[in-house]
């Protein structure tokens, strides 16, 4: 079994079994919160049509900085565990074995990650209150990620190792970028491009891992997985990949083509 060194920082002594039991029995409460989120988005956007945008720059800097620090701390634990398994036991073990469930440190940060998906609904509140464009991708991604986070965490399936570590890693860069931009730092365009690219790579890797798990189930390869869970993850990652690639095309490639055609 792979166990993280007890010398790693950022761990509060914590016992997971009670939370696993509670969330396995009560995780469906997240449906009500997601419905409330979607209604709030609709009603908030309608209210703001007749209102002036709020000046929330300082609050937005603090918000994004807090989420950036949280993501960096989470990545410090979960990504290290991922790298440890990949380097010591190989890709197969990282995909098919859930040794992280024996590590309270990793489970603790996985649990924090799950609840953070509800906190991240605040991202949408800032967009609505500041009257910034609100895309289908943004709302869909926030709502669906929160649903699957609560559906999956207590199951302890190996796919969670990939989902959570990759998300912490990407958000470490994303929220740092958002915090700097909100503060007024002029960030070079390649940095924004990099953030979008690692978001897309996250989705494509998720597609590859979940596809392998389905393949393992069909061919009889020994692999800890649940078919329903994995199909949900696979379809979600495919939809995310399509939407993020479309965003990348519209924001960078299509705009570049338009500029080129105007210059001719």
Mean pLDDT of the chain: 91
Measured CA to CA, the distance from residue 248 to residue 204 in angstroms comes to 14
Q: What is the pLDDT of residues 192-210, one digit of tens each?
A: 999 999 999 999 999 999 9
Is 138 catalytic? The answer is no
Predicted local confidence at residue 252, as pLDDT: 85
Predicted local confidence at residue 131, as pLDDT: 96
Rounded mean pLDDT, 36-47: 97
| CB-count exposure of residue 122 (10 Å: 0-12, 13-18, 19+) | middle
Identify the sign of the CA torsion 207, 201, 157, 22.
negative
Predicted local confidence at residue 255, as pLDDT: 63
- Res. 251 pLDDT band, cuts 50 70 90: confident
Q: Please, what is the Cα angle at 154 between 151 and 159, to 5 degrees?
A: 75
Predicted local confidence at residue 226, as pLDDT: 87
3-class SS at 64? Answer: helix
Measured CA to CA, the distance from residue 244 to residue 174 in angstroms comes to 14
Rounded to two decimals, the pTM is: 0.90
Q: What is the pLDDT of residues 208-243, one digit of tens each?
A: 999 999 999 899 999 998 888 899 999 999 999 999
Active-site residue (options: 141, 142, 171, 229): 141
Rounded mean pLDDT, 87-101: 94
Domain range list for the chain: 53-258
């Amino acid at each position: 079994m792979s166990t993280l060194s007890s010398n790693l920082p950022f761990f509060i002594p914590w016992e997971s079994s009670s939370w696993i039991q509670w969330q396995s029995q009560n995780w469906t409460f997240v449906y009500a919160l997601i419905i409330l989120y979607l209604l709030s988005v609709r009603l908030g956007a309608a209210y703001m049509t007749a209102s002036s945008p709020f000046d929330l720059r300082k609050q937005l800097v603090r918000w994004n900085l807090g989420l950036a620090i949280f993501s960096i701390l989470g990545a410090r634990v979960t990504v290290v565990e991922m790298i440890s398994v990949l380097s010591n036991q190989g890709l197969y073990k990282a995909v098919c074995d859930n040794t992280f469930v024996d590590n309270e440190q990793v489970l603790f940060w996985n649990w924090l990650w799950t609840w953070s998906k509800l906190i991240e609904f605040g991202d949408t509140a800032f967009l609505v209150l500041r009257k910034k464009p609100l895309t289908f991708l943004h709302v869909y991604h926030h709502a669906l990620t929160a649903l699957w986070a609560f559906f999956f965490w207590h199951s302890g399936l190996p796919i969670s190792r990939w989902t959570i570590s990759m998300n912490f890693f990407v958000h470490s860069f994303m929220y740092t970028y958002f915090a700097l931009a909100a503060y007024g730092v002029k960030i070079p365009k390649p940095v924004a491009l990099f953030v979008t690219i690692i978001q897309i790579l996250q989705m494509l890797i998720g597609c590859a891992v979940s596809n392998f798990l389905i393949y393992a189930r069909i061919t009889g390869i020994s692999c800890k997985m649940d078919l329903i869970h994995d199909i949900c993850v696979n379809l979600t990652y495919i939809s995310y990949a399509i939407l993020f690639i479309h965003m990348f095309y519209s924001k960078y490639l299509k705009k570049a083509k338009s500029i080129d055609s105007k210059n001719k």
